[in-house]
Amino acid sequence: MRSVGIFEVKTKLSELLRAGEPIEITSHKKSVAVLYPKAATQSTAQVKRDIKAINQADQLDNTADMGDYV
């Protein structure tokens, strides 16, 4: 999964989406979201890893709660 900062997502969104791979969006090197292409199918194991990564990022960020990521 490619990790991309918010600014890069803002400036290159169409290019990133055309690549057809999941994108982890970060802010100040902290994961804030994961964006999946519509056609992509994810294994249950990958989805669980992604949820775990988001939960870990949430625990490190005292200014937000899980609802900010979903």
Reported as a single tens digit per residue, the pLDDT across 9-36 is: 999 988 988 888 889 999 998 999 988 8
H/E stretch holding 57 reads: helix 44-60
Q: What is the CATH number of domain 2-68?
A: 3.40.1620
Cα separation of 43 and 28, whole Å? 28
pLDDT at residue 41 is higher than 90: no
Q: pTM, whole model, 2 decimals?
A: 0.55
- Structure tokens that stand for 59 in this block: 């625990």
Full DSSP string of 4-48: EEHHHHHHHHHHHHHTTS-EEEEETTEEEEEE--TT----HHHHH
